[in-house]
Chains A and B, each alone.
Chain A
Amino acid sequence: MSLTELEFQAHAAEAAPEQAVEGRSQWQLTWRRLRHDKVAMASVAVIAFMVVLAIGAPLFARLIGHGVYQAFTNTGLSSAGIPVGPGKHGFLLGTDYIGRDLLVRVLYGARISLYVGILTTALATLAGVSIGLVAGYFGGWIDSVLARFIDTVLAFPFIVLALALAAILGPSLSIVIGVITFFSWAGISRIVRGQTLSVKEKEYIEAARSIGAGPWRIMFIDILPNLMGPVLVLATLYIPTAIVFEATLSFLGIGIPAPTASWGGMLSEAQNYYQVAWWYVVFPATALLITTLAFNLLGDGVRDAMDPRTERIFAASKKRGKRKGTADPGALPSLTVSELGE
């Protein structure tokens, strides 16, 4: 038990001694640990900020007075037809190749990125958990069929499929969502299936069967809560992957179709202008980088907070003192000595 937990218990005992009978759930414990992780909390703040920007994009556009599709051919382009730089003619982040306000476009791009990232991850998690649970719990031929299907999906060249679909049906948002979901669930399924295989052998599952619980009840009430940890971590880390996936598709011209603002699409357009208009590359790329970085760091934080091993690794690193940096960075928690000691 860490100092932090002892401290929490001391606080809890002071504050409400009568309430002490309620045990803390895995989520409460995870949240407590996560709250002391400064990097993860900063990531939460960044993500919240991006969400506010995305939701408020039309409002900000109105405040600025520039529409997302509005091309300012007079003020937004120089006499040579080149985009104008940041701060000129009221364009805070400059303009794009036909004189549209880059700031407004980046804000609208956040809408697409977050929408696609979160929706596809939610769909993929739902499908992945259900399929993984069914495969792992029922086993036998059901498992064989589903496991081979998972392998097939994981082995499939996704860019080729996306290119083919876009060529046949024309690029659209729903194809992007469909393709990303289709290539994301299998990874989650594989983890869930493996965990289910190990959890279903536990004696408490036999106890549930001896009570008379059916397979669905056992899967979703007895097994699923034991898998939620890895699933949550995986889902948090899938959001940035999906965002990058969407940007990749848009960059290749098979994602979000042209007039709609998307970060990948803007980067694609900027290819021809980056030598004369650095802002055209830098701002959409920065937005993409910050967002995916925040989700990745949050995912790492959630994983560390979820894993009781973290504290042991932490205790070891405390003993080793300043040799922390030489250890495997992936295994290290993002907490520091002083943070936990406080």
Chain B
Amino acid sequence: MSDTLPRDDARPLPPEAAMEDDVLIRVDNLVKYFPVRGGGLIRRVVGQVQAVDGVSLVVRRGQTLGLVGETGSGKSTLARCIAGLIPVTSGTVTFEGRNITNLSRRAMRPVRREIQMIFQDPYGSLNPRRRVGAIIGDPFAVHRTASGAERKKAVQELMERVGLNPEHFNRFPAEFSGGQRQRIGVARALALRPKLIICDEPVSALDVSIQAQVLNLLADLQREFGLSYLFIAHDLEVVRHVSNDVAVMYLGRIGESGPRDQVYDTARHPYTVALLSAAPAADPDAAAERRRIILTGDVPSPINPPSGCRFHPRCPKAQELCSQQEPVLESKLGDPAIHQAACHFPVQAGEIMARVAGRERR
């Protein structure tokens, strides 16, 4: 199918990209604040929702970066900033060596062909009034890369590639199941043959059995087309399954990042440890062995985040220093430089954290 899909592979790489050629996209110190306006006539800005506050990350060619965090940690906002859907407050997004931060819509157009998105809600992300063929063919229509019979052929090939019956291109989204709808979303994202696909919780709305099918599809497509993924999820097992690297977000900041196995096996940040301990284990014996770390309280408001380390009010290891000084994201306890954690008191291997299930203070 790759022969017939319209794409010019001859696009040259910019010179900067050659220097760090395995980096596809680099996010530096990205900040996104949403203003909070007061009531009344003048609607003064009375505060800022600090949705993303100084996040740096890198997605490598052909690899997957998993981004985990609780609801409200700023994952989706970060994704929309990177995709250029909402303007960035400060910081830069560099794609193949080119700064694409806050480009105008016109300037962003060619970049859109390279960066596509898969959305969380398979029901909300497809226009209910348009036929599936039109939805998947939209990228071709917008970028004028194919029309008429050629477009229809390309759409049907895409449908076949993502495991849909190409005969169904005349149906409406309502006639498909959740998993099939998500395949439609994948086909749409794939249409322009992008280099990076941002997957914003692509399987969290799906049944577990369907999740596996969609994840396998994404893995197949990655192999076939050399795609890179920024994979956002709150399911740690899903992220472990798909990612090469993992970044853990908490309240708009990265708490810990590094290669998957290092983050999962030797987590340094107490938040990562708590998240990992909360994930259900499939093996009941292993589940009985585990000590869950119960975090108390809710995620604090991003309008008025805690001082110092943003995790300190809920952290079992928190000390005086944590509320005063913001920890730097760096490698801890002799970890390799690529495994970094932002914590003053990183967790040692085998360490049992103070507050564990059963002994929780009330």
CB–CB B83/A210 < 8 A? yes
- CB-nearest residue of chain A to B122: A203
- CB-nearest residue of chain B to A210: B117
Most buried by B among A23, A202, A214, A225: A23
CB–CB A26/B121 < 8 A? no
B170 / chain A contacts, CB cutoff of 8 Å: 21-23
B124 / chain A contacts, CB cutoff of 8 Å: 202-204
Map CB proximity to B onto A182-223 as digits: 1 under 8 Å, 0 otherwise: 000000000000000000001110111111111001000110
CB–CB B168/A208 < 8 A? no
CB–CB B125/A23 < 8 A? no
- A21 in complex: contacting residue of B130, B139, B171, CB < 8 Å: B171
Map CB proximity to B onto A278-299 as digits: 1 under 8 Å, 0 otherwise: 0000000000000000000000
A203-B125 CB under 8 A given contacts A210-B83, A214-B105, A225-B130? yes
CA distance A207 to B105 in the complex (A): 15
Map CB proximity to A onto B124-151 as digits: 1 under 8 Å, 0 otherwise: 1111111100000011001100000000
A226 / chain B contacts, CB cutoff of 8 Å: 127-129
| Closest beta carbon of chain A to B120's beta carbon, Å | 8
CB–CB B131/A208 < 8 A? no
CA distance A308 to B316 in the complex (A): 53
CB–CB B113/A212 < 8 A? yes
CA distance A204 to B122 in the complex (A): 10
CB–CB B168/A21 < 8 A? yes
CB–CB A213/B142 < 8 A? yes
Map CB proximity to B onto A210-249 as digits: 1 under 8 Å, 0 otherwise: 1111100100011001101000000000000000000000
Interfacial residues of chain B within 135-178, with CB under 8 A of chain A in the complex: 138-139, 142-143, 165, 167-168, 170-172, 174-175
A275 proximal to B (CB < 8 A): no
| Closest beta carbon of chain A to B144's beta carbon, Å | 11
A211-B127 CB under 8 A given contacts A23-B171, A25-B172, A203-B119? no
CB–CB A217/B188 < 8 A? no
- CB-nearest residue of chain A to B105: A214
- CB-nearest residue of chain B to A217: B142
CA distance A25 to B175 in the complex (A): 11
B98 proximal to A (CB < 8 A): no
B108 proximal to A (CB < 8 A): yes
B142 / chain A contacts, CB cutoff of 8 Å: 211-213, 217
Map CB proximity to B onto A148-178 as digits: 1 under 8 Å, 0 otherwise: 0000000000000000000000000000000
B128 / chain A contacts, CB cutoff of 8 Å: 226
- CB-nearest residue of chain B to A214: B105
B112 proximal to A (CB < 8 A): yes
CA distance A97 to B168 in the complex (A): 67
B340 proximal to A (CB < 8 A): no
- A212 in complex: contacting residue of B112, B129, B175, CB < 8 Å: B112
CA distance A289 to B11 in the complex (A): 69
B357 / chain A contacts, CB cutoff of 8 Å: none
CA distance A217 to B128 in the complex (A): 16
CB–CB B171/A206 < 8 A? no
CB–CB A211/B139 < 8 A? yes
A21 / chain B contacts, CB cutoff of 8 Å: 165, 167-168, 170-171
CB–CB B113/A207 < 8 A? no
CB–CB A26/B129 < 8 A? yes
| Closest beta carbon of chain A to B136's beta carbon, Å | 11
Size category of the binding interface on chain A: 20 to 34
- CB-nearest residue of chain A to B106: A214
| Closest beta carbon of chain B to A306's beta carbon, Å | 12
- CB-nearest residue of chain B to A208: B138
Interfacial residues of chain B within 159-212, with CB under 8 A of chain A in the complex: 165, 167-168, 170-172, 174-175, 185, 188, 192
| Closest beta carbon of chain A to B203's beta carbon, Å | 16
Map CB proximity to A onto B75-93 as digits: 1 under 8 Å, 0 otherwise: 0000010010100000000
Most buried by A among B112, B126, B129, B192: B129
B116 proximal to A (CB < 8 A): yes
- A210 in complex: contacting residue of B116, B130, B171, CB < 8 Å: B116
CA distance A22 to B167 in the complex (A): 8
CA distance A202 to B125 in the complex (A): 7
CA distance A221 to B130 in the complex (A): 9
B109 proximal to A (CB < 8 A): yes
CB–CB B172/A23 < 8 A? yes
CB–CB B119/A206 < 8 A? yes
CB–CB A210/B129 < 8 A? no
Interfacial residues of chain A within 1-59, with CB under 8 A of chain B in the complex: 21-26
CB–CB B143/A212 < 8 A? yes
| Closest beta carbon of chain A to B192's beta carbon, Å | 8
CB–CB B138/A22 < 8 A? no
CB–CB A225/B117 < 8 A? no
B108 / chain A contacts, CB cutoff of 8 Å: 212
B113 / chain A contacts, CB cutoff of 8 Å: 212
CB–CB A213/B168 < 8 A? no
B129 / chain A contacts, CB cutoff of 8 Å: 26, 225-226, 228
| Closest beta carbon of chain A to B205's beta carbon, Å | 11
CA distance A128 to B120 in the complex (A): 34
| Closest beta carbon of chain B to A198's beta carbon, Å | 12
| Closest beta carbon of chain A to B230's beta carbon, Å | 13
A23-B112 CB under 8 A given contacts A203-B125, A206-B85, A207-B125? no
| Closest beta carbon of chain A to B297's beta carbon, Å | 31
- CB-nearest residue of chain B to A201: B124
Q: Which 9 A-B pairs have the closest CB atoms?
A: A23-B171, A212-B112, A225-B129, A203-B124, A23-B172, A22-B170, A203-B125, A204-B127, A210-B117
| 6 additional A-B residue pairs with CB within 8 Å, beyond A23-B174, A207-B117, A225-B127 | A21-B171, A203-B124, A211-B112, A211-B188, A214-B105, A225-B130
20 contacts between A and B (CB under 8 A): A21-B168, A23-B171, A202-B127, A203-B121, A206-B119, A207-B126, A207-B188, A210-B85, A210-B112, A211-B142, A212-B113, A213-B138, A213-B142, A217-B142, A221-B130, A222-B127, A222-B130, A225-B127, A225-B129, A228-B129
* Residues in chain B within 8 A of chain A (CB atoms): 80, 83, 85, 105, 108-109, 112-113, 116-117, 119-121, 124-131, 138-139, 142-143, 165, 167-168, 170-172, 174-175, 185, 188, 192
